[in-house]
Amino acid sequence: MKKVSLQTLGCKVNFAETSTIGRQFVERGFRIVDADQPTDVFVLNTCSVTERADKECRQLIRRALRISPNTFVVVTGCYAQLQPEEISTIEGVDLILGAKEKFNLFNYANGFQKRGVPQAFVSCIDEVEDFISSYSGDIDGRTRAFLKVQDGCDYTCSFCTIPLARGESRSQPVEKFMNEARTLVENGFKEIVLTGVNVGDYGRKIGTTFFELIKSLDTVDGLERIRISSIEPNLLTPEIVEFILNSKRFCNHFHIPMQSGSDTILKKMRRRYLTNEYRSLIEFIKKLDADAGIGADVLVGFPGETDELFNETAGFIADLPISYLHVFTYSERENTSATEFDEVIEPRIRHERNNILRIISQKKRHEFASSFVGRTLPVLFESGAHKGVASGLATNYLRVHVSSELSFENQIETVQILSIDGEICNGELSDTMKVESDSDFVYSYTTV
């Protein structure tokens, strides 16, 4: 049996798509192995949101070739769509596939015979029109599944290459996602994470809406949790917020890209909201559910971000009742209008600002987690106990650890939070449990 290793850079959409590609290999008799094992084929699904993603691509290819010098190397994803010529210069690459070609990998692989010269099949992004269904599932060994419900983006943010890499916004009818959700439930998944490049834009071109989608998914029998990976603030309407927070299935967790806390910078970024609208949204969520977890993406070092404007962002974030940040350092991306802007920020200053916001994020995470000490949370455990610790996620995205030699993998248990270690909640199960063996040994413990 031939072996394939698949690695993913970037977003949850990429993760779902890699899983779909992996199923194609399994259907053809391949065995999927970890990246640190010898393999016959190595597939790398790339990202190109930041300069770092490009560098990681090169590093992972070199590492794969050190482990398996004769492995057939396939590179696909956003970086492959945008920079196929650049990828072709990486030693050992055999096949480069663009956005239109990546799900037809076997049509281009020529039996995975190395030729010594990379082949690239990358169509113009304007030709990418189909929505290819993708979800993580049976090959991943996870308790949460990522379901792609939307692809592409029609927005024109001045710093972003995603529309160039993925094409226009597109999706498929609600009923198809209902069927996929049922399949994931049948495969044993307790939680589905809805992903997309601009997930809130779902359905706009096919006569439906994201609100209609989530109302339908909320009726799927056996599905215990639904989480939204990320949604633009201008698309997160009050009716969506209220529905999610009143649902027994949807998680009280929102990840809402902010990018900047300065209106001046938001306008230069061509974002579709200003800080007062963003603040009102966050306060509306917290008014309805003070326990809701709220995360935000922030981009620092954008051209024209003076010290004064950065301080606006830092102060804006410090005053917001959010739970955590994902902080990114601006890097120039080819074919984006931001590369033509004046007042370029020195890389040193960009990284300093990144560190400042990361410190704020750590404080936010710790404060949010600390508010739950002495309280109970429902936790979906993601894996068996490792070194005496079982780990899982609460609905509001808090990471929870429980000391135990038992495995609660893929189980939802009520946990009382006892202490906080940084941003990790430490707790114990709120029920008395006992495990007996055939011997005289009885392992038992009693909690609250």
| Gap between the Cα atoms of 286 and 371, Å rounded | 14
Specify the 3-state DSSP secondary structure of 66. Answer: helix
Region 46-73: what's the mean pLDDT?
87
Lowest mean pLDDT among 186-195, 215-224, 287-296, 425-434: 425-434
Q: Which of the four pLDDT bands, split at 50, 70 and 90, describes residue 443?
A: very low
Element (H, E) at 374: none
131-251, what's its fold? Answer: Transcription Regulator spoIIAA (3.30.750)
Interstrand relation of 31-32 and 293-300 (parallel, antiparallel or unpaired): unpaired
pLDDT digits (tens, 9 = 90+) for 396-410: 999 999 998 888 889
Q: Which of the four pLDDT bands, split at 50, 70 and 90, describes residue 388?
A: confident
Give the percent of the chain with pLDDT over 90: 85
pLDDT digits (tens, 9 = 90+) for 335-361: 999 999 999 999 999 999 999 999 999
The amino acid at residue 403 is S
Q: What is the DSSP string of 199-267?
A: GGGTTTTTT--HHHHHHHHTT-TT--EEEE----TTT--HHHHHHHHH-SSB-SEEE---B-S-HHHHH
Say what the pLDDT of residue 353 is: 98
pLDDT digits (tens, 9 = 90+) for 169-227: 999 999 999 999 999 999 999 999 999 999 999 999 999 999 999 999 999 999 999 99
If you search the block for the tokens 């799927």, which residue do you land on?
A: 220
Q: Which of the four pLDDT bands, split at 50, 70 and 90, describes residue 442?
A: very low
Range(s) within the chain of domains with CATH label 3.40.50.12160: 3-127
pLDDT digits (tens, 9 = 90+) for 8-44: 998 889 999 999 999 999 999 999 999 899 999 999 9
- Is the pLDDT at 424 greater than 70? The verdict is yes
- Is the pLDDT at 439 greater than 50? The verdict is no
| Gap between the Cα atoms of 305 and 268, Å rounded | 10
Q: Mean pLDDT for the chain?
A: 92
Say what the pLDDT of residue 140 is: 54
Range(s) within the chain of domains with CATH label 3.30.750.210: 131-251
- Is the pLDDT at 50 greater than 80? The verdict is no
- According to the CATH classification, is domain 376-445 in 1.10.3470? no
**Residue of higher predicted confidence among 386 and 446:** 386
Say what the pLDDT of residue 58 is: 87
pLDDT digits (tens, 9 = 90+) for 323-333: 999 999 999 99
Which residue from 162, 103, 165 is spatially nearest to 134, judged by alpha carbons?
103
| Gap between the Cα atoms of 22 and 24, Å rounded | 5
* pTM for this entry: 0.90
Region 153-162: what's the mean pLDDT?
95
Say what the pLDDT of residue 166 is: 95
| Gap between the Cα atoms of 151 and 166, Å rounded | 7
Specify the 3-state DSSP secondary structure of 40. Answer: coil
**Residue of higher predicted confidence among 385 and 313:** 313
**Residue of higher predicted confidence among 383 and 359:** 359
Range(s) within the chain of domains with CATH label 2.40.50: 376-445
252-371, what's its fold? Answer: Transcription Regulator spoIIAA (3.30.750)
Q: Write the CA distances from 17 to 7, 295, 401, integer angstroms.
A: 11, 24, 30
| Gap between the Cα atoms of 84 and 70, Å rounded | 21
| Gap between the Cα atoms of 353 and 307, Å rounded | 9
- Is the pLDDT at 295 greater than 60? The verdict is yes
- Is the pLDDT at 378 greater than 60? The verdict is yes
- Is the pLDDT at 435 greater than 60? The verdict is no
Beta strand ranges found along 140-210 (DSSP E): 144-150, 191-196
- According to the CATH classification, is domain 3-127 in 3.40.50.12160? yes
Region 99-120: what's the mean pLDDT?
94
